[in-house]
Structure 1
Amino acid sequence: MKIIRLLSTLSLATMVSLFSCQKEEEQVATSDSVSEETLSKIHKIGFSTQNVQRIDEGYLIEGDIVLTEADLNTTPDITLLRAGTEEQYRTTNLVKSLPRNITVSISSKLPSSYVKALDEALARYNAQNLTITFTQVSSGANISIVSAGGNFLASAGFPTSGGAPYGQIKVNSRAIGNQPQSTVATILAHELGHCIGFRHTDYMNRSYSCGGQAVNEGASSVGAIQIPGTPSGPDAGSWMLSCIGSGQNRPFNNNDRTALNYLY
């Protein structure tokens, strides 16, 4: 999606677009075609009701997050992990049975270069010495990265109530286009972040990374806990920001590492 509003930290000479986790030029199956009852349920559990898309698994919200009907019909005691005004957030469900190795596979239908991008994404996590680790496998994975089309770059969901990571990441390589390995690795690391329970860093104001109208996604009944030692202001480099610039690389910064270590 071509836009002219860019993060102040990006170079205007080299950055000509931002792409969010879902958007191409055209939009289909938006919130206009989703019932008011469903939108109310989405808002009640603390997610944005703007540009909701109906998909096979349920609903695509906030650009790249999958919510199923089961997600919408539960009333969890949600706790929001807060690392400042626009910092790290998590959902109620996290990966359990720690320490734990999570296996990840990638479809042969995706470009072969994505295999190395996935290696890079997993290495970023494994370098943090967390109680979760990641290993790339050819089949039988806990998380399968598959090829997909549609109005998004990539999408994923959140851990199950039983503590398993979300099992699938959909990747639209056509929408991503000819991005460098580090950008693809950042996109994959971002979606893996959702799979283990992270929400978008700019949850309180998506315009911070996406431009356009300021959107506070609404905490609803969701609580908020600030992580000790993290700042109270915006964090331009976080890997879990809603939107990323073309060609941009976002390895974990200090605040990301604080949040990861807090949870895992």
Structure 2
Amino acid sequence: MQNKFRLSALALALLIAGASCKKAATVAEEPNAVTQEVVDGIKAMGFTTTGIQATDGGYIVEGDIFISRNDLGRNMQGAILRVGQSEQYRTTNLVTGLPRVITISVDSRLASSYVAATDEAIARFNAENLQLTFQRVSSGANIAITQAPRNAQYLASAGFPTAQGNPHNQVLVNTRAIGSQPQSTVATILAHEIGHCIGFRHTDYMDRSYSCGGSTANEGASTVGAILIPGTPAGPDPNSWMLACIGSGQNRPFNANDKTALSYLY
């Protein structure tokens, strides 16, 4: 059975603070601790509360989606139109100001193999002749690909476009988890996260078990929106680049349905 890289957080460890002999210790709550208030806020946004992971500036939900702390409790209007179980979906916010060049940088701390994989991911998008084109730059990019925190329990993560029509500005990669995967696999992972940055949700967001295995897990519509992209299939799509999980060594270039979705949006 093929091992799966999950674009999902691992089970969170519970840290139990012990009392010191004859002296009670007071532990300050971490700014991004996963408190009940945080869980309630994420649930109110419509995301699953299973496997929430605290990270710099916010939380990782549904495996690879970044939610900033400032977004919790914010009254955001979303939309959902569901047909079938596995189709391409987009968020309410998309990148605007088309035609537009989106610049991408790769942190110098990352190995040169990530530069090559980024160039491959960029080439995949640019081959589709969209109104969004992508270009790698050394600094000042719209999307910065950088190292995830050392304690990260996800493969990679990204967020969704802003209300102002800009792409999410960061992709975090867990180099320890990705390991020595071939360039095509890393390019697929990066293209997937860039897909989130420009407004794509998981193709199988309504049932993550389709690509991740295990029990049925609906990610929820959420306040960011889960809007069916016209022209994409009403049935399962086993090769989409936006499936939630990917097998070790697997390559997922855009399939025909992905290309339809990209063309429709951009």
Q: TM-score range by the shorter chain?
A: 0.7 to 0.9
Question: 1:18 — aligned with what?
Answer: 4
- Compute the displacement of 1:43 (Å): 2.3
Aligned pair in 2 of structure 1 residues 223, 64: CA closer, same or farther (>3 Å)?
A: closer
1-side partners of 2:200 and 2:46: how far apart? 14
Question: 2:18 — aligned with what?
Answer: none
Count of residue correspondences: 247
Aligned pair in 2 of structure 1 residues 155, 223: CA closer, same or farther (>3 Å)?
A: closer
Partner SS state of residue 209, structure 1: helix
Partner SS state of residue 162, structure 1: coil
Question: 1:3 — aligned with what?
Answer: none
Aligned pair in 2 of structure 1 residues 178, 83: CA closer, same or farther (>3 Å)?
A: farther
Return the match for 1:200 from 199, 202, 219: 202
Partner SS state of residue 144, structure 1: strand
- Compute the displacement of 1:27 (Å): 3.8
1-side partners of 2:139 and 2:105: how far apart? 6
Q: Structure 1 segments of 4 or more deviating over 6 A?
A: none
2:175 counterpart of 1:173 = yes
**TM-score normalised by length of structure 1:** 0.86
2:153 counterpart of 1:151 = yes
Question: 1:38 — aligned with what?
Answer: 38
Q: Assess if the C-alpha contact under 8 Å between 1:107 and 1:146 holds in 2.
A: yes
- Compute the displacement of 1:40 (Å): 2.6
CA RMSD of aligned residues (A): 2.1
Q: Assess if the C-alpha contact under 8 Å between 2:209 and 2:217 holds in 1.
A: yes
- Compute the displacement of 1:141 (Å): 0.7
1-side partners of 2:133 and 2:82: how far apart? 23
2:244 counterpart of 1:242 = yes
Q: Tell me which amino acid in the other structure corresponds to 1:97.
A: G
Cα distance per residue 1:1-50 (max 9 Å; x no partner): xxxxxxxxxxx4xx3x10112456x74479xx623332232222221111
Q: Assess if the C-alpha contact under 8 Å between 1:80 and 1:90 holds in 2.
A: no
Identity of aligned residues (%): 61
Cα distance per residue 1:192-222 (max 9 Å; x no partner): 0111111111110011111111111233677
Higher deviation after alignment, 103-112 or 41-50:
41-50
Q: Assess if the C-alpha contact under 8 Å between 2:9 and 2:60 holds in 1.
A: no
- Compute the displacement of 1:72 (Å): 2.0
Q: Assess if the C-alpha contact under 8 Å between 2:9 and 2:53 holds in 1.
A: no
Q: Assess if the C-alpha contact under 8 Å between 1:88 and 1:199 holds in 2.
A: yes
Return the match for 1:216 from 195, 215, 218: 218
Question: 2:66 — aligned with what?
Answer: 66
Question: 1:111 — aligned with what?
Answer: 111
Larger Rg computed on CA atoms:
2
2:178 counterpart of 1:182 = no
Unaligned runs of 5+ in 2: 16-32
- Compute the displacement of 1:83 (Å): 7.1
Aligned pair in 2 of structure 1 residues 81, 172: CA closer, same or farther (>3 Å)?
A: farther
Aligned pair in 2 of structure 1 residues 207, 111: CA closer, same or farther (>3 Å)?
A: same
Q: Assess if the C-alpha contact under 8 Å between 2:86 and 2:206 holds in 1.
A: yes
Partner SS state of residue 90, structure 2: coil
Question: 1:163 — aligned with what?
Answer: 165
Unaligned runs of 5+ in 1: 1-11
